[in-house]
Structure 1
Amino acid sequence: MTISLTTLSQELQKKIYSKTARVGVIGLGYVGLPTACHYSSVGYKVTGFDISTEKVDLLNRGHSYIDDIDSLELLEYVNSSLFSATTDMNELDKMDIILICVPTPINKVKEPDTSFIKSAGEKVVEFASKGTLVILESTTYPGTTEEFIVNPLIKKGFIVGESIFVAYSPERIDPGNKIYNLDNTPKVVGGYTENCLELAREFIGHTAHCVSDVRVAEMSKIYENTFRWINTALVNEFTIICKELDINIWETIEAASSKPYGFMKFTPGIGVGGHCIPVDPFYLTYKAKENGLRTKMIELAGEINDGMVQFNYHRIIDILSDNKLPKHANIVILGAAYKIDIGDLRESPVVRLIEKLQNKVKTIKIIEPYSNHVEMNGTTIPCYEYDSKIVQNSDLVVIGTPHSCFDWEKVKKDSNLIFDTKNVMYDNGILSEKIVVM
């Protein structure tokens, strides 16, 4: 029996309004798990799908492995049957709405790895039922939704916009951000058809910012992160120039920031880390090359941002050389995560800096309150909680990631010499001759 367009869309609309739509989230990482918990928190029954048995077992016991998700909160959703996790993709056929939140990394030559999206799309095509709304949330280049979701569904016999619905709504999750979350951050959404867009808008709710099609939505996410990538490169380049001209980059930035319009403040650092900013711009580079175009600013920004690890390495060697031979020096790194107040060390520029210093100094000890170890060059290196004795016995303290839990007055008191890569001491009103800024 053929079900009409009106009946299918009205049925799903009713389920969205009544919160009886069954929601499936494919991928339970730093995007997927918060997304699943968000929809559980507003009353939907959510099933999380992941290929990791270990993750699924932890989640079904109410144990969160994501910093932003409290285990007690997760346990409440589990106990109230609002959330469960599974590795069984057959369960997708029971879902009314499927969100795809899988990783989109790049390889060593900075080309997109869309294998996770492709795999998730294949599972959706295999198991999704008529009347299902599929929303891709992974950051990717324009055309991905059509390539890996829409076209395979059409090939399977679905009529997208009539018998099944597809939209793209890029994630805007900022790990560690205590102010902006899924409740108060606008969420761009584009539908493959008007009907797809309307259903996705109703599901996403008051935060939805609707655009004309999926390709605009895909491009908007790439533009957001490319904007940050290029402006970070600009301030990093200014940092190198200011060092050579003996000008304080931090005072320069603060002076420019006094302008109340036409300026947005960016600050330098050891490099750019994480799974978004250093990755997403190269998805556009790949797509541009396919169409015979160049992304000159993105590629140049990459050279500058990647070079900041080398710049800071040389700064540290120079600082040590003024006091003792680097090979006899003991260094302490304060904070190694890619971002403040989280424990994720993957893709961290601080870790890349440590790798370069490893064979050039006597010892390196990492003080990282959010992790107990760092994986580096195939080995596991222990991390320590803050210990005055460790700091006092060091020749140089490098402020890598300035977590808010650090007592900067105590750091100053305990340290013999400090290399402050983020100007955090000055920002906290702490001045000393033994503090060297980037």
Structure 2
Amino acid sequence: MNFEKTIERLRNRSALIGVVGMGYVGQPLALRFSSVGYRVIGFDIDAKKVALLNCGKSDIEHIGDQAIATANQSGMTCTTDFRRAGEADALIICVPTPLNKYREPDLSFVVSTMESIVPYLRAGQVVSLESTTYPGTTEEELLPRISRTGLTVGEDVFLVYSPEREDPGNANFTTSTIPKVVGGHTPACLDAGKALYEQAIERVVPVSSTRAAEMTKLLENIHRAVNIGLVNEMKIVADRMGIDIFEVVDAAATKPFGFTPYYPGPGLGGHCIPIDPFYLTWKAREYGVHTRFIELAGEINRAMPEYVFGKLVKALNDRRKALNGARVLVLGIAYKKNVDDMRESPSVEIMELLRAAGAEVSYSDPHVPVFPKMREHRFDLKSVALTPESLGGFDAVVLATDHVKFDFDMIRRHAPLIVDSRGVYRDAADHIVRA
């Protein structure tokens, strides 16, 4: 009976959808469910964020205030009170899954979230985990906690894993148009998961288990991490040979089959690609498997900020200048262009290296006006306005993130030295160094 009622409420959109974690993943998801007629309640431990959202304001640049306000007018509300989890017919968990200082999975956010909602679970609910994690997490961490309540998964509560696929700032895809992979703990769980997501997402892709869905997300991001590691290594080789790697990638991309272009940069950023591969390498050890290929790509990508730093040191030395005491401007500190997302940004790693070497570090980023509070990085800085005069006052500019809002022609004319890690400046110039 619980199953039939749950499916009916999901399909006729009378269900209340609870989204736990109103960040880069949770907010777009909550807005999408609200836009197709569901009532939505957002949960977050950040009281300031909750207050902001309830006032119709967004704390994420690419999500406009109007979108939040419209959802609020349709009944969306946010809360820090996890006792209200029992009101929701579906609880979708979108919390961070970082690495700890030993580069091992940190599931503390997932575990604490489950501990917060488990006392309020009831029959008829769907629980879906979207946080990226290693295969087995849903069965090993969520299932036992739900089972301890006396509720039977697959009969009373329906447990699902459906990996998030958000790409902040990508105008070509939205939450509704990105296909949604769904795996259930039982066939009934899978059916409930499909009923949940089919109402809001254009295409749902069912897989055989939560473990298969968890592995799917890791493969997607490991695919990117490995190929970026490859092209980053190729960049170093090409540079030694006096070859422009960006020209090579563009030429190779003209092949209509068997090649996908990946471009080098200063390292990996974002919450997924620098982190997810290590969730699999950690879990693989439990099965006696050493993931050498994945770990090698990780080593290469993690070394890229130091490579850019080294290119800057050499460029200054060639001009008879020391890095110690030099004024260095880092252009772009978000992890990729045209967003305000700072998670795992290689730009910040470069800033740390510069500061440790005695440089006077500044940054300019139109998407990040004030350097935010971060768990591992502390800079009391504001974004520098780019003018001919301000650029001329720096000894070097490191182009780390190629936001389209930058006036690259003006930067080229007035910066005395540019270390370009993004391939913006493709023609040779005495004051431009490829990195």
Alignment CA distance shift 1:248-1:98 (3 Å): same
- Cα distance between partner residues in 2 of 1:282 and 1:357: 27
Matches within 5 A, 1:19-418: 19-81=13-75, 83-205=76-198, 206-326=202-322, 327=324, 329-360=326-357, 362-374=359-371, 377-418=377-418
Q: Give the deviation of 1:140 after TM superposition.
A: 0.5
Runs (4+) of structure 1 moved beyond 6 Å? none
Query: Taking structure 2 as the reference length, what is the TM-score of the superposition?
Result: 0.94
Q: Give the deviation of 1:268 after TM superposition.
A: 1.0
Structure 2, unmatched stretches of 5+, are none
Alignment CA distance shift 1:97-1:267 (3 Å): same
SS at match of 1:274: coil
Paired letter, 1:322: D
Q: Give the deviation of 1:52 after TM superposition.
A: 1.4
SS at match of 2:92: strand
SS at match of 1:358: helix
- Cα distance between partner residues in 2 of 1:358 and 1:90: 45
Paired letter, 2:393: N
- Cα distance between partner residues in 2 of 1:359 and 1:204: 48
CA contact under 8 A between 1:95 and 1:128: conserved in structure 2? no
- 1:10 paired residue number: 4
**CA root-mean-square deviation:** 1.7
Paired letter, 2:97: T
CA contact under 8 A between 1:56 and 1:86: conserved in structure 2? yes
CA deviations 1:250-272 (Å, max 9, x no partner) are 22222222211111111111111
Q: Give the deviation of 1:412 after TM superposition.
A: 1.8
SS at match of 1:92: helix
- Cα distance between partner residues in 2 of 1:349 and 1:73: 30
- Cα distance between partner residues in 2 of 1:424 and 1:49: 41
Matches within 5 A, 1:418-437: 418-426=418-426, 432-437=429-434
CA contact under 8 A between 2:122 and 2:151: conserved in structure 1? no
- Cα distance between partner residues in 2 of 1:340 and 1:284: 28
Q: Give the deviation of 1:419 after TM superposition.
A: 1.8
Which deviates further from its counterpart, 164-173 or 318-327? Answer: 318-327
Which deviates further from its counterpart, 58-67 or 117-126? Answer: 117-126
Identity of aligned residues (%): 40
Which deviates further from its counterpart, 326-335 or 302-311? Answer: 326-335
Which deviates further from its counterpart, 126-135 or 64-73? Answer: 64-73
Paired letter, 1:243: D
Which deviates further from its counterpart, 132-141 or 369-378? Answer: 369-378
- Cα distance between partner residues in 2 of 1:253 and 1:377: 34
CA contact under 8 A between 1:34 and 1:68: conserved in structure 2? no
CA deviations 1:139-190 (Å, max 9, x no partner) are 0011111112222222322121111111110000011111111111101001
Alignment CA distance shift 1:133-1:410 (3 Å): same
SS at match of 1:47: strand
Alignment CA distance shift 1:280-1:359 (3 Å): closer
- Cα distance between partner residues in 1 of 2:162 and 2:367: 31
- Cα distance between partner residues in 1 of 2:114 and 2:357: 47
CA contact under 8 A between 1:272 and 1:306: conserved in structure 2? yes
Paired letter, 2:226: I
Which deviates further from its counterpart, 7-16 or 125-134? Answer: 7-16
- Cα distance between partner residues in 2 of 1:360 and 1:216: 46
CA deviations 1:84-119 (Å, max 9, x no partner) are 011111101111011011110001111001111112
- Cα distance between partner residues in 1 of 2:431 and 2:421: 14
Q: Give the deviation of 1:318 after TM superposition.
A: 0.7
- Cα distance between partner residues in 1 of 2:114 and 2:370: 35
Structure 1, unmatched stretches of 5+, are 1-6
CA deviations 1:278-318 (Å, max 9, x no partner) are 11111111111122221111211111111111111110011
- Cα distance between partner residues in 2 of 1:285 and 1:106: 12
Paired letter, 1:182: T
- How many residue pairs match? The answer is 428
- Cα distance between partner residues in 1 of 2:74 and 2:194: 27
- 1:4 paired residue number: none
- Cα distance between partner residues in 2 of 1:176 and 1:50: 23
- Cα distance between partner residues in 1 of 2:336 and 2:28: 18
Alignment CA distance shift 1:400-1:93 (3 Å): same
